[in-house]
Amino acid sequence: MPATLLNFSTIASLTAASITGLADGDLAYITDPRRGGFFRWTNSDVTTEVGWETPGQVCAFYAPDSTSGGSGAWVRQAYLEGRPTNVEWAGAVGDGTGATGSGIDNRSAFQAAILFAARSNGSLFAPSGIYRVTGRMEFDHSDFDIRGIDFEGVMPSATIGSGPNTPATGTWLHFDHSDYGISFRDDEVPGNSNKFFRLSKLGFCRSQPTPAPAWTPAAHNADIRVEYSVIVEDLMHLNSTKGYHIRSAGTLQASRVRGQFFSCGFEVERSSDVQRFHDIHAWPYWSTDVNVIGYTIDNLITIKVRRADGLKVSDLFSIFHHRLALLKDENGDLSGAAGFSFERCYSDGAGGGIELLCDYYRAYGSITDFLHNCDASLRGSGPAIHIHGSQATNVTILDHEVTRAMDECLLVEGAGHAVTYLPRRLAVWNRSAAGHASIKADGGATIELLRIPDTDSSGTLYSTGTNGTITFPTRFALGKSAVSSGGFLSRRISVANDTVATFTMPKGDFSGNISISPVASPSNDNPAVIFWARATASPVISKLASTPASPTNFVLTTGALTGTTGAVGNVTMSVHIDGLLYIENRSSSSRSYNITLFGG
């Protein structure tokens, strides 16, 4: 016999109806657009399942009034088919607009749906809409019957413009309060690594002051607090004062996260496990107002870490921040930044880039394919990469490129800091005039330079400060020549009559010792000479030794040479304010020399 189909308008009318004559498998249909749908009667004892539910916000098991489900109950057909728990089943309504006080409060409905999902099938779904929530949502139930929950919505998007922008499509949670938005914490076993949660395709928004001069964000806590294993994917934070706060043994794996953060994007307070942040896009989705952007350039730290063993960050883009990343240890954490890795990161329109400060624990790691571009208005401060502190570090930096830097492109300060550095291009739009070199080692730090970077027309400036060391690479090419643009050059040259050859003096103070010896045996008119020279605004050149001791037809001077500047019959060598060493031959025949230059 076909199952009976009954019709009701609400959940209340379903549970109030008589169950006399109902057979196992009979169907009911509720027309309520959110909590309605098909329901199937079961004669089985479902007392346990009914106990999963929150009174007044039942999701799937509906016992008749005044019963506990021992003699049967209505069961939502979608649940029987294995579909995720829908937050609307518990009474959630996505009727908000993102404005303060707009829409019903969905906190209790979400908590009921979370608890039911945790005790049943482990899946949670929120349809499109803006769900206003007036208090912290807790994912901390110690009586979960399963170890993990999967909470998914509909891919969020926001309006596009100079802002303030608002949620447009997809699933959004409006945290209409200043506490944590969602907290993942096991009350009985903090940091319980046996529990995990996955969030995907959700947007988060907060109430923020209207942009105006001296604008500051509201003092909201982080949108998401993590103290056990959490995976987030395809999330959007429209206007978050803080994004994520990872504590205790919490681990976060974040992929494809977009957002405008004002104070901090990801904060790892202390964690002994691996954090993985991949494909993060920090962009002004909410507002491009100059007052908002000015605040973030002065204050935003996109990634802030106290302790994280094996931190992995890749494909991160962040714009208008104070620091792209700050790794700063604190006493008592037992470790700091151990085994960190940054790959394919882009710091744009910013103050500083990546800063590693180690005052209590040794740190090591790598930075690969990092592009830094400071704010065009030159607001903010900080090197593209800054490594310092009283504890030793060992860092490898490969394929580093800087288009603009407020201060140094690489600054390493302090004894025991060792950096292996392979830059690509360092365009020196920086404050070198105010004492900021492009590459600087100071206070006993060591930089091993694997490649001389390409530069713009202003060149590259090196500084070793107090007891700092920069070692330069040596390249060998055909003809047995070797060169290090920072401080060493060895080459054989031929200079035709009435022509001039030039060489760039070592960057920094543009000074060095030069040895020039003829390929032929030295003679009075073709001597071997060692001299010191400096090619700066006040050029100086001075002979140190020669063979023969008093050569003829050989002149040391200052100023630019053209090939016909000196007297006929002479070989003239000069330095000029342009940073070049000139060798002019007017001897009437071609001359060949071995030239060796040692820079300071």
Q: Give me the phi and psi of 143, to 5 degrees please.
A: -105, 25
Which tokens go with 400? 């580093």
Which residues are 30's β-sheet partners? 8, 37
Structure-token pair, residue 176: 């209409």
Decide: 418 and 446 in contact? Cβ < 8 Å: yes
For residue 45, what are its two tokens?
């004892």
- The SS3 call for residue 79 is helix
Rounded CA separation 536/400 (Å): 29
Domain-terminating residue out of 29, 52, 80 = 80
Q: What is the pLDDT at residue 193?
A: 55
- Report the C-alpha gap between 42 and 64 in whole angstroms: 12
**Inside any domain, residue 441:** no
Question: CA 63, 65, 66, 71 torsion: positive or negative?
Answer: negative
Domain boundary among 80, 99, 126: 80
Residue 15 lies in a domain: yes
Query: How high is the mean pLDDT in each 10-residue block of the chain (600 residues)?
Result: 79 91 93 92 93 88 91 93 92 87 91 86 90 88 55 89 90 96 74 72 95 96 90 95 89 94 94 87 96 95 91 96 94 81 93 93 95 77 93 96 86 95 79 67 92 71 80 59 57 89 71 86 88 88 91 92 93 90 92 79
The predicted pLDDT at position 394 comes to: 96
Residue 65 CA: distances (Å) to CA of 6, 11, 40, 71, 535: 17, 11, 16, 12, 96
At 109, is the secondary structure helix, strand, or coil? helix
Q: What is the reported pLDDT for 315?
A: 98
Neighbouring-strand partners of residue 180: none
Pick from 587, 462, 472: nearest CA to 523: 587
Residue 145: the pLDDT is 44
Q: Is residue 61 assigned to a domain? A: yes
Task: Tell me which H or E stretch contains 323.
Answer: strand 323-328
Q: Are 581 and 540 in contact (CB under 8 A)?
A: no
**Closest-CA residue to 120 (of 93, 94, 86, 152):** 86
pLDDT digits over 185-217, tens only? 766 555 555 667 889 999 999 999 999 999 999
Alpha-carbon gap, residue 251 to 66, rounded angstroms: 44
Here the contacts of 491-494 (C-beta below 8 Å, separation 24 or greater) are 491/594, 491/595, 492/519, 492/592, 492/593, 492/594, 492/595, 493/583, 493/592, 493/593, 493/595, 494/590, 494/591, 494/592, 494/593
Residue among 196, 258, 193 nearest 230 (CA): 196
What pLDDT is attached to residue 479?
45
Of 304, 259, 256, 305, the C-alpha closest to 282 is 259
How many CB atoms neighbour CB 19 within 10 A? 17
Amino acid at 76: R
Q: Is residue 290 part of a domain?
A: no
Q: Is the CB of residue 562 less than 8 Å from the CB of residue 471?
A: no
Nearest to 206 by CA among 221, 228, 196, 192: 221
Q: Residue 283 and residue 458: Cα distance in Å, rounded?
A: 31
Identify whether 520 is part of a domain.
yes
- Domain membership flag for residue 515: yes
Q: Are 560 and 576 in contact (CB under 8 A)?
A: yes
| pLDDT tens by residue, 434-493 | 567 788 899 999 999 998 888 765 555 777 777 888 888 765 444 444 555 555 667 788
- Name which of 139, 129, 222, 138 is nearest 173 in CA terms: 129
Identify whether the C-beta of residue 149 lies closer than 8 Å to the C-beta of residue 124. Answer: yes
- For residue 508, is it left (φ>0), alpha (ψ between -120 and 50) or beta? left
Domain total in the chain: 2
Closest by CA to 173, choosing from 124, 218, 214, 119, is 124
pTM, two decimals, is: 0.79
Measured distance CA(407)–CA(384) in Å, rounded? 7
**Which residues have C-beta within 8 Å of that of residue 311, sequence separation ≥ 6?**
268, 274, 275, 305, 327, 337, 339, 340, 341, 365
Could you tell me if 490 and 595 are in contact, meaning their C-beta atoms sit under 8 angstroms apart? yes
141 contact partners, CB below 8 Å, separation of at least 6: 114, 115, 118
Tell me how far apart the alpha carbons of residues 5 and 25 are, in angstroms, rounded to a whole number.
Answer: 10
Query: Does an H or E element contain 80, and which?
Result: helix 77-80
CATH number, domain with residue 497 = 2.60.40
554 strand-pairing partners: 571
Contact indicator for 148, 125 with CB cutoff of 8 Å: no
Structure letter (DSSP) for residue 377: T
Give CA–CA dist 450/20, Å, rounded: 85
Taking the C-alpha atoms of residue 349 and residue 142, their distance in angstroms, rounded to an integer, is 45
> Quick check: is 499 in a domain?
yes
Give residue 508's pLDDT.
54
Last residue of a domain, one of 80, 114, 142: 80
**Residue 62, pLDDT score:** 93
Range of the domain at 19: 5-80
Which pLDDT belongs to residue 480?
Answer: 46
Taking the C-alpha atoms of residue 413 and residue 465, their distance in angstroms, rounded to an integer, is 9
Is 581 part of any domain? yes
